[in-house]
Structure 1
């Protein structure tokens, strides 16, 4: 039984991941701006309504960990924001909105959780194939894809910085998955994988991937793009 934090649990992959961890006996701290009714009442899941883009909101996480868990075995940065616009139409506010969730929140939440991570802990960041050099890119996603590239580098640096403490940092650059976010960005597009299928992969990687990888980015995509 492990203590696992998952962000972005109101829907999609994050929701499925939280449910899968709980169904297999692990304790889950589910962080999202909106709490999914599907998570309520589950004795293995604690839900915190948290806006990760607001630094003060992260204090809720520290308070919970201090009073309840004391330690964290895995942290999955799954929450994400997406703005789909031609580059010429993007505003500074658009970039800020995306980077606050996709980059700054990843860094700040990791800082808050660090005191509770012990040797053997695993921090997994969900990136995108859009953030991988040389991969096919979708037009209109310059803010999103560039932010996903940023967290890949962040994870690599943190893996080096905390390797002596035995804390592993890895990134999964996933391809298209049939989620609500994908449907909003690309109406009518059909992805090859469902949210539960991707959650299965992330579940296994979170629990076992740090035995084999540290400071790595793995491309998890069955299609190009």
Structure 2
């Protein structure tokens, strides 16, 4: 039974993705601050309440890996912190809060998992079209979009650094998906893709994408935003 770590599983894509993996027989470590009852009760899901902005809180993950899991087949860095505010009003603390979840947590969790990743393991980071150089940008998203650009570069670098170990790192830069976060960013906008539909795509990519890609950024978007 393959073992999959997913962050940001309390709602939206992460929630749907955790259920998708668990319902098809994979063992899932679901990481979020709040955990829906259906995930807690699922026999293939282990839930951990973790504040990803706190490096020390991630010790809970290390404990699970060292005591019971021993190996990790895939990580999906799905959790995200969103901020929409005019640039002139964004404080350093605002930037730090977003980067702690969107960048530092990705780096810290990956580092914790490194001893348990093996040849054939796949690390997938969910970024945004807002983090793609040359893509359409939207006012107010300076902290969010720049953080999503940072994890793209981080993944490219890690793919090179760990290619000799056979560990793959790839990024999916998502466009509009109908989630609560999208409603916060663009109130009233109706995306053409639902959370469960995007979860299906990420599920397939996590299991097979590393056969074809390493250190790559795939733009998964059919619309603007």
Q: Normalising by the residue count of structure 1, what TM-score does the alignment of the two structures yield? A: 0.99
CA distance in 2 between partners of 1:38 and 1:183 (Å): 24
Higher mean alpha-carbon deviation, 34-43 vs 120-129, is at 34-43
Cα deviation per residue 1:186-223 (whole Å; 9 max; x = unaligned)? 22111111000000000000000000000000000011
Query: Within 5 A, what are the aligned runs for 1:164-175?
Result: 164-175=164-175
CA distance in 2 between partners of 1:38 and 1:147 (Å): 31
CA distance in 2 between partners of 1:187 and 1:203 (Å): 28
1:162 has 2:162 as partner: yes
Match of 1:85, SS state, is coil
Residue aligning to 1:223 = 223
How far off its partner does 1:137 sit?
Answer: 1.0
Match of 2:121, SS state, is strand
Query: Within 5 A, what are the aligned runs for 1:48-127?
Result: 48-127=48-127
Count how many residue pairs are aligned between Structure 1 and Structure 2.
225
Query: Within 5 A, what are the aligned runs for 1:117-196?
Result: 117-196=117-196
CA distance in 2 between partners of 1:82 and 1:94 (Å): 10
CA distance in 2 between partners of 1:138 and 1:38 (Å): 36
CA distance in 2 between partners of 1:192 and 1:147 (Å): 25
Structure 1 residue runs without a partner (length 5+): none
Residue aligning to 1:15 = 15
The answer to whether the Cα contact below 8 Å between 2:176 and 2:224 also exists between their aligned partners in 1 is no
Structure 2 residue runs without a partner (length 5+): none
1:201 has 2:212 as partner: no
CA distance in 1 between partners of 2:224 and 2:183 (Å): 18
Cα deviation per residue 1:45-77 (whole Å; 9 max; x = unaligned)? 000000111111111101101111100000000
CA distance in 2 between partners of 1:2 and 1:193 (Å): 28
Match of 1:188, SS state, is coil
How far off its partner does 1:138 sit?
Answer: 1.4
Moved over 2 A (4+): none
Match of 1:25, SS state, is coil
1:41 has 2:41 as partner: yes
